[in-house]
Amino acid sequence: RSFGQSEGLGVYFSALRKQVDIFQSTPFEESEALFFPLIYTLGLIWVNCPHFNENNEHICHIANLLKNMIIAESYRAIDPGILFQGDVDDNMPKVKQCVKNIKYYRKMLSKFNPTLRSIFPEGAEVKVWRCNP
């Protein structure tokens, strides 16, 4: 039974993997438009993947992994090693955009539950996630 469950998860998470690959291959300061597809794909997994939405900890764990990825990508974009070399005015727009993107991601994730409700098929039990982004 567990092997079958994990095999099914692999199918669903391959779609998320594609979104993560796209996100990681895009400069972070240009990635704002990629947050919604990333979160929406996670929502589709929550709605459609049997056994995954039985426990809120699953979605919170994946959301935390995504949050850590976003922090790592922002760190890579800012590159603290060279941040203060040269003119501060040259680096400030990039830093501001990275902070804006992080805030935008948190806002999108925390406000996704209404959208999540609309994804569930008619007649299905609606299960919202409860995570602190």
Which residue is it, tokens 């850590």? Answer: 68
Per-state percent for the chain, helix, strand, coil, to nearest 5: 75, 0, 25
- Confidence at residue 69, expressed as pLDDT on a 0 to 100 scale: 96
Q: Which tokens hold the place of 108?
A: 């999108």
DSSP code for 30: G
How many Å apart are CA 42 and CA 47, to the nearest integer?
A: 9
Judge whether 52 and 12 are in contact, CB under 8 Å.
yes
Per-residue confidence of the chain (133 residues) as pLDDT tens digits?
A: 455 556 677 888 999 999 999 999 999 999 999 999 999 999 999 888 877 888 888 888 998 999 999 999 999 988 877 777 777 777 888 889 999 999 999 899 888 888 888 888 888 888 888 876 5
The residue extents of the domains of the chain are 2-119
Round to whole Å and give the CA distance between 108 and 131: 12
- The pLDDT of residue 82: 73
The DSSP secondary structure of 84-117, one letter per residue, reads TSS-HHHHHHHHHHHHHHHHHHHHHHHT-HHHHH
pLDDT score, position 19: 96
- Dist. CA 105–CA 91, nearest whole Å: 22
Q: How far apart are CA 49 and CA 89, in angstroms?
A: 47
